[in-house]
Structure 1
Amino acid sequence: MNKTTGDTNTFTWVKAIILIIMFVGLLISIYERIWFNVFLVSLLLLLTLTPTILYKRYKFVIPPEIEIIAIIFIFASGYLGDIREYYDKYWWWDKVLHFSSGILLGIVGFLIVYILNKIKRFMIYMKPAFVALFSFTFAVSIGAIWEIYEFAMDKFFDLGMQSHKLYSDLEDTMWDIILDTLGAAIISILGYFYMSRNKEFFINDLLTNFIEHNPKLFKKRKSKPST
C-alpha cells in the first residue's frame, strides 16, 4: 500500500467516524426534542456530505486533504462547539478556531488565485505581493462577515454567540477579529516569502492535486467558428 492510498484510507475513516458521531447526535436531539439542535446537526451533516454530492452530481472532486480539513473544522466548530457546548466549557475553544480559520481562509485565498491563474480562459497573473494581499484580505473579510452574522443572530434570536464568561461582547468580537487577522497574516507572509523566492509552497501540492482530479475545469474552451 503506497502513501497516497494510506492517506486516503485515513481520511475515509476520519470522515466516517465524524459522520457517525454527528448522526448519533442527531438521533439524540430528535429523541430529546431539541429542535434547534436537530436543525443544526442536519445542516452540519449536509455540509459534511457536500463534497460527495458535488462528485456524484457534477464529477467535481475536492482533494482529500482539503476535504478532511474542512470536515474537521465543521465538526469542531459546529458540533463540538455548539451542540456539545465546548464554547462554554473551554474558553479557548472559540479562539483556537478563529485563529485556525484565519489560516485556512488564507490558504483558500491563495488557492483561488492559483486556480484562476491556471484556468486558461481567465489568463490572469498577479505578483506575489498582490497574491498575498488578496489572501489576507479575503480571510479577514470572511472573518468580519462571520462577526456580523454572530451579531445578527444575537440581536434577532438571542443565541448568545458573542457572549463570553471572561469579557464583554465587544471584547469577544475584537479578539475574534484579531485572531482571524493574525492567522491570515501568518499564512500570507509565508506565502509571499515562498512565492517571491520561487520556492515550493505546500499549496502547490494542493493545487496540483486539485488540477489532476478536475482536468475538465482547466481545459481551454474551443472558440466557435465564425460564420
Structure 2
Amino acid sequence: MKRKDRGNDFFELGMYILAVVCVGYFLIKGNGAKVFEAALIAVVLLLIRLVIKITKTTLFPALRFCILLFIFVTMFIANEFGYYGVIPYLDKVEHLFSGVILCFIGLLIYSKAASHQKGGEAPSSHIAVWLCLFFSIAMAGVWEIYEFATDHLFGLNSQNGSLLDTMTDIICGTIGAIVTAVYLALKAKKRELPLVDIG
C-alpha cells in the first residue's frame, strides 16, 4: 500500500480501534454473537492486508477507500449495530458500493495483466474501462447465483424469495459499475493519471 495513502491508513486504524471497543463492550454485555462479529471484522481487515502482501498488489487509493467503506457499512453499521431494519434500502446501497468496488478490481486485474505483457502495444485505457464495466456487471450476477444457491441448499433467505429483490440487487450493482466506468473513462480521456494509477 502506498505511503501517501494516509487517509485510508487512518480510516483502517479507526476500524481496528472500533472493533476492539465493540469486543470489550459486548463482552461486558454478555453478547457473544456481537463479540464474534467484531472480532471477525478485524480478521477480515487483516486477511485483506495478507492477500495484498502475498500477491504483491498495490491498491488504488479509491479502491482501498471503497473496500474499507464497504466493510464499515456492511459489517459495522448493518450487522454489528443492527441498522438493517432502521436505514431504508441499506442492502441496495451495499450493492451500489459493490458495483464500484468490482469495477476498480476489474481495473486492477487489467493493470496487473498489462504490466506482465512483454512488447506489443501499450495498454489501452478504453479496453480497461470496458473490461471493468463488464467484469463488475458479471460479478453482480455471480453474487446473486451464489445467494440463490445458498438459499436453496441451506434454507437461507438472502433473496427474500423474490425475483424483484434479485433483479434490484443486480440493477444497483450495475448502476454502481456504470458510474465508476464513466469516472474512469473521464480520467483516461483527460490523461490525468497513467493507466495503473487511474483509480
TM-score category (smaller protein)? 0.7 to 0.9
2:14 to 17, 21, 28: 17
Q: How many residues are matched?
A: 194
Query: What SS does the corresponding residue of 1:89 show, helix, strand or coil?
Result: coil
1:175-186 aligned at under 5 Å gives the runs: 175-186=168-179
What corresponds to 2:70 in structure 1? 73
Deviation at 1:177, TM superposition (A): 0.5
The 1-side partners of 2:8 and 2:123 are apart by 33
2:90 to 71, 90, 93: 93
Query: What SS does the corresponding residue of 1:87 show, helix, strand or coil?
Result: coil
Instruction: Compute the TM-score of the two structures, normalised by the length of structure 2.
Output: 0.75
Q: 1:120 to 1:25 in 2, by over 3 A?
A: same
The 2-side partners of 1:140 and 1:73 are apart by 18
The 1-side partners of 2:48 and 2:152 are apart by 33
What corresponds to 1:217 in structure 2? none
The 1-side partners of 2:44 and 2:110 are apart by 24
Q: 1:108 to 1:19 in 2, by over 3 A?
A: same
Q: 1:45 to 1:149 in 2, by over 3 A?
A: farther
What corresponds to 2:58 in structure 1? 62
Moved more, 77-86 or 133-142: 77-86
Larger Rg: 1
Q: Does 1:111 align with 2:104?
A: no
Instruction: Compute the TM-score of the two structures, normalised by the length of structure 1.
Output: 0.67
Task: Please give the root-mean-square deviation of Cα atoms over the aligned residues, in Å.
Answer: 3.4
What corresponds to 1:31 in structure 2? 30
Deviation at 1:129, TM superposition (A): 4.4
The AA in structure 2 aligned to 1:93 is L
1:130 to 127, 132, 138: 127
The 1-side partners of 2:80 and 2:156 are apart by 13
